[in-house]
Amino acid sequence: MDPKSNITGGETERVFTARVLGKYDVAFYRCLETGYMQTEKPYWLEEAYKSPMNLCDTGVLMRNTHFSTVLRAFFGAFFVPESQFLDFAGGFGVFTRMMRDAGLDYYWDDPYTQNVLARGFEHASGTRTYAALSAIEVFEHLVSPREEIAGLFKLAPTLLFSTVLVPEPRPEAADWWYYGLSHGQHISFYTLQALEVLAHEHGATLVSNGRDLHAFLQRGLLPQEVDADWLRKWLSREGREYAAAVGRAFEFCPKLHAGKKLKHQLRNLVRRCRFHAPGVYVLKVLPGSPDYVALSTSSLSARYAAYLLSGGAVDRKRLAERFPSLTVPDMERMAQRMTAQK
């Protein structure tokens, strides 16, 4: 009898059998409602996780470097500098350390791996919730996605995660590297429809770049900063009726010319007045205000989040100013801790 879908609890169909870890013939099933794929009950996982990081994962540093850049832009746009974030299943602490070096107050959690690079910034269970949580290459490892993702929502209302979507048409066992047959650790494979079901279950909005990076975005969350050119295009295409609310809720901050000469002062004066000048719009109203509420029901947040997850251009220098690096403060903090322990 075919197992029930891990996403919907509905019917599945067997699509193929593949050799996992070079010795186990494992059945793969497809959810009839969403196209999500899952293996049979994964009895081989203890063997697959003898080493928490499999030898085939040669792209771990490149992946962390790329996603740290994209998520830094996302967090810089949507959250205030005082926000705290958690990297779930953070491995050796590479991503947490990268994000702290970039200025975000990031913490680490992983019950199966030793924290090597982010020591001192472990999540203390039951003591804290976060503005958002990242889970880089985690969802494909989940045995019971609905239950385990529900646990993540108890830690943060917004989840940022990477997992490669099942291509269309669905590839056969030998035609897609992401099945991970050689290491046996990948047992869940998602479609946008499956992620939409999970997001809806928790009252979140699904945002995706359509490939490998996604977010369950807290509904009602507006960005703190929006690229001016992008916002003007959004207003002209989708949000004309929200133009007045945008004007009241956001303040335009032009990207000014450097220098103090008269020509620079005149150019900056023009930029402050020109509608098409480069810069950012900064949120100036509080949650709950009429304009905030009106804009939070529009497509603004979801569209801008998708733009950022797709690597949309942002003012990196401005973000660096909003989030000064924590490398030196962390060093001093750990030195004080070590001194106190002597």
**Distance between CA 65 and CA 46 in Å, rounded?**
29
**Distance between CA 151 and CA 145 in Å, rounded?**
10
Check: CB of residue 214 under 8 Å from CB of residue 195. Answer: yes
Q: What is the pLDDT along the chain (342 residues), one digit of tens a residue?
A: 899 999 999 999 999 999 999 999 999 999 999 999 999 999 999 999 987 666 666 667 888 999 999 999 999 999 999 999 999 999 999 999 999 999 999 999 998 889 999 999 999 877 679 999 999 999 999 999 999 999 999 999 999 999 999 999 999 999 999 999 999 999 999 999 999 999 999 999 999 999 999 999 999 999 999 999 899 999 999 989 999 999 999 998 886 545 555 555 555 455 555 556 788 899 999 999 999 999 999 999 999 999 999 988 776 667 777 888 999 999 998 888 888 776
Look at the block and give the residue holding tokens 């974030």. Answer: 85
Domain boundaries, the chain: 12-46, 48-218, 225-296
Both structure tokens of 263: 């020509």
Distances (CA, A) of 95 to 117, 150, 166, 190: 9, 23, 25, 23
Q: What CATH superfamily is the domain 48-218?
A: Vaccinia Virus protein VP39 (3.40.50.150)
Check: CB of residue 76 under 8 Å from CB of residue 225. Answer: yes
Count the helix, strand and coil residues of the chain and give each as a percent rounded to the nearest 5: 40, 20, 45
Look at the block and give the residue holding tokens 């020109």. Answer: 274
Pairing of strands 225-227, 279-283: antiparallel
Look at the block and give the residue holding tokens 């979507």. Answer: 165
Check: CB of residue 198 under 8 Å from CB of residue 146. Answer: yes
Residues near 11 by Cβ (< 8 Å), separated by ≥ 6?
A: 2, 4, 5, 31, 32, 33
The residue type of 248 is: R
Q: How many CB atoms lie within 10 A of CB 182?
A: 14
